[in-house]
Structure 1
Amino acid sequence: MSKLPMSPIRTGGKPARVSEHQLEIDGLSFDVHRSDRRKTMQITVERSGDLSIVAPSTVPADQLVSFVEEKLIWVHTKVEEKARLQQRAPRKEFVEGEGFLYLGRSHRLRLIDNQLVDLSLKNGRFCLRRGSIHRGRDIFVSWYTRRAQQWFEKQVAGLSNRMGVTVQEVKVQDLGFRWGSFGTDGRVSFHWKAILLPPRIAQYVAVHELAHAHYPDHSATFWIKVEQHLPDWRWRKTWLAENGIQAEGL
């Protein structure tokens, strides 16, 4: 979908530029999503620092700008906070008792002198072979990737039928700051870190990506499609934006 040219606008505060799908103000760029079902405006600061606004379809541009102006201090604070968290996300040391997430729960680490596999999850604890500590991160990433592959394949199998989506392949890999993606070739990909999220949040990631099979952008019709299958998608999306940073640091 082609974007309309940006138009300058001033409401008495900082100058802003607005198009149908984007708003730029005070050095910040927001993706704008409008919906006939939306009754209030909401700003979300994503895990990556990306910014988005959801607003009712009837809200005029100057009112949208005024709303953002009132929230600028909060937005800048959140952006800086996420940047600091990403820089300071503690790296795992793979020591006894250290916590590792899996499907939203933290499991303590036990170091085992002798076991057949490098890593296992037993009785609520991750068990890592002591002699494999030097490869700890690679071992955990491999374990998470295998579990994520199984979990998301099952989710996609159930959701794709209900959402009318034909999926050629489910892939799990490192996607950088993206939780998932849906390709034009019918392949859906998920970040291996998505298996660290609580199940209801990981499910939102799956529904979100499958909805892109119908609408590649984040237009109002896209969010309507998401809402058809997850009526409470807003709180899940907000939770992910505010808490997804917990999956960093491995």
Structure 2
Amino acid sequence: MPSLPLSPVRTGGKLARISGQSLEVDGLTFEVRRSDRRKTLQITVERSGELSITAPTKVPERDLASFVEEKLLWIHTKIEEKARLQKRAPVKEFVNGEGFLYLGKSYRLRLMDAQLVDLCLKNGRFCLRSSSTHRARDVFIAWYTRRALTWFSQQVAEHANRMDVQVNEITVQDLGFRWGSFGGNRVSFHWKAILLPPRIAQYVVVHELAHAHYPDHSANFWLKVEQHLPDWRTRKSWLAENGIQVEGL
């Protein structure tokens, strides 16, 4: 389906171009997301560098552009931070002695000539069958996915009960630049979330379950998170600053 043409709008000193689902200000393009349940405007800079603005349904497009213009310095700062962190993400080579994360701890890799399984964690080391090195990334992802499903299922069972949330299905998959998602009584986690320290992965669980009560990131949403994780700000900050380090597998 062709996209709607962008209409020029003058706001302050910037020329903005707006369509129903897209907003351009100062050379930046934002996906516009509207919700009847949304009370305030919010700008999100994804780990990928993609930009979005979430707004109540009836907020005029001109107000969206004005809001973005007011936040331009903050937005450009965040974009630069994301780009800098992306460059720091290591790329694995799957060689002897290389470190691999699991629940926040780094385990050295040992290549094994004779091993029945592709990969196992044994005596404090990841043991990878030498004949499987050509597909080592897929082997690690499969291993992480299985472990993540078990670990997150236990966490969800514990926290969903306390948070009065019904969960009918738990999945682990590649969610791109999201750590998790919640919708239709189904909660999903990125397989990379099992690389995080337990207290940070726990924050991801509580964060997603809180969306069962508040689908946006309103003040009420964060109050719900705080009820169950009083130190959520510390955990959230750690994830924002260090989460990129698990991107290089």
Fold conserved between structures, TM > 0.5:
yes
Q: Alignment partner of 1:175: what SS?
A: coil
**1:61-210 equivalences in 2 (<5 Å):** 68=71, 71=74, 74-82=77-85, 84-85=86-87, 89-184=89-184, 186-210=185-209
2:186 alignment partner AA? R
2:220 alignment partner AA? T
Q: Is the 8 A contact 1:16 1:65 kept in 2?
A: no
Q: CA deviation at 1:8?
A: 7.4
Equivalent-residue separation in structure 2 for 1:77 and 1:171 (angstroms): 33
Equivalent-residue separation in structure 2 for 1:220 and 1:15 (angstroms): 31
Where structure 2 has 5 or more consecutive residues not aligned to the other structure, the ranges are 1-8, 18-22, 33-37, 54-63
Q: Is the 8 A contact 2:47 2:82 kept in 1?
A: no
Q: Is the 8 A contact 2:112 2:129 kept in 1?
A: yes
With normalisation by structure 1, the TM-score equals 0.74
Q: Alignment partner of 1:216: what SS?
A: coil
1:230 alignment partner AA? L
Q: Is the 8 A contact 2:98 2:108 kept in 1?
A: yes
- Residue matched to 1:38: none
- Alignment deviations for residues 116-138 of structure 1 (CA, whole Å, 9 cap, x no partner): 22111122211111121112111
Q: CA deviation at 1:74?
A: 2.8
Q: CA deviation at 1:236?
A: 1.4
1:170 alignment partner AA? I
Measured at CA, do residues 45 and 244 of structure 1 come closer, stay the same or move farther in structure 2, by a change above 3 Å?
farther
Q: Percent identity?
A: 68
2:103 alignment partner AA? L
Q: Is the 8 A contact 2:226 2:232 kept in 1?
A: yes
- Residue matched to 1:246: 245
Measured at CA, do residues 165 and 15 of structure 1 come closer, stay the same or move farther in structure 2, by a change above 3 Å?
same
Equivalent-residue separation in structure 2 for 1:218 and 1:164 (angstroms): 19
Equivalent-residue separation in structure 2 for 1:211 and 1:8 (angstroms): 38
Q: Alignment partner of 1:49: what SS?
A: coil
Equivalent-residue separation in structure 1 for 2:241 and 2:174 (angstroms): 20
Equivalent-residue separation in structure 2 for 1:99 and 1:147 (angstroms): 18
Q: Alignment partner of 1:94: what SS?
A: coil
Equivalent-residue separation in structure 2 for 1:247 and 1:189 (angstroms): 18
Q: Alignment partner of 2:151: what SS?
A: helix
Where structure 1 has 5 or more consecutive residues not aligned to the other structure, the ranges are 1-6, 18-22, 36-42, 54-60
Matched pairs, number: 223
Q: Is the 8 A contact 1:141 1:192 kept in 2?
A: yes
Measured at CA, do residues 48 and 241 of structure 1 come closer, stay the same or move farther in structure 2, by a change above 3 Å?
farther
Q: CA deviation at 1:209?
A: 0.7
- Alignment deviations for residues 186-207 of structure 1 (CA, whole Å, 9 cap, x no partner): 1111111100011111111100
Q: CA deviation at 1:51?
A: 6.3
Q: CA RMSD in A?
A: 3.4
Equivalent-residue separation in structure 1 for 2:169 and 2:221 (angstroms): 22
With normalisation by structure 2, the TM-score equals 0.74
Equivalent-residue separation in structure 2 for 1:125 and 1:169 (angstroms): 32
